[in-house]
Amino acid sequence: MNKTLIIGATSDLAVSYINSIKDTSHCVLLVRNELKVKSKFPKKSFHKIIITDLASTKNLDSVANLYDYNYRKIIFFNGVDIIKPIQFYTFSEIQNSFNINVISIFTIISKLIKSKSIANNSSLLVISSISGNIIGSKGHSLYATTKASITGLVKSLAIELSKKRIRVNSILPGLIKTENLYLKNKNLQSPEDFEKYEKNYPLGLGNTKNINDLIDFLLEDKSSWITGQNIVIDGGHTILR
């Protein structure tokens, strides 16, 4: 049976999506902390849990078992967002953000292709952001830069892998009510300013089910004629900008 590879499997969006899967026995998870997997998924069983730190991209050359399977679905949930003015970023924060948000994705896909670990007629999906692609936001310059680079990767890689019928797409969400990113954005603004911000979402702020449904669609054969697309899902937020 072809496997599903989920990178960054303990992020808020990943946890929601994995919990929506009835049978996870075919899933291979790539995470930094195995204890976190056990706490997030106490009743789930997985084919394999692989531990590595994506901030240290040298590890990706020799991650045990990662390249041993045949994957038909691959989802990248990994991402880090450090919010502050540009003059306060350290070199380490810049390097780690690029390693986690961009270089790890590029490297893993490269290694999977080289090891022939991606089946024909497969779907690769990256969870990106409207930040840097559609809009800019104060304090998000580093995050936005890394996410903007994903757009170019998706478009070029989709053409490169089309002969094998391997589709490559990304999802660009607006603000989703998650435990981490939602609260981080909320705490950066006064209650009055955040209330005004919420009104800039015509359909209201998103929830994880909105993203889960789109992930399912893009991974399945129903979307077999869609590739190279960076799909915005933001409740109408960016059309008001």
SS3 233: strand
Supply the DSSP symbol for 56. Answer: S
Contacts for 210 with CB less than 8 Å, ≥ 6 apart:
176, 233
CB neighbour class for 32 (10 Å; exposed up to 12, middle 13-18, buried from 19): middle
Answer yes or no: 197 catalytic.
no
Whole-number Å distance between alpha carbons of 100 and 147 = 11
Query: Which of 89, 143, 182, 201 is labelled catalytic?
Result: 143
CB neighbour class for 6 (10 Å; exposed up to 12, middle 13-18, buried from 19): buried
For residues 18 and 216, the answer to whether their CB atoms sit within 8 Å is no
Whole-number Å distance between alpha carbons of 33 and 31 = 6
Phi and psi at residue 126, to the nearest 5°: -115, 130
Report which secondary-structure segment, H or E, holds 170.
strand 167-173
> H helices within the chain, ranges in order?
12-20, 34-40, 91-98, 104-114, 141-160, 181-187, 191-198, 208-219
Point out the residues that are catalytic.
Answer: 143
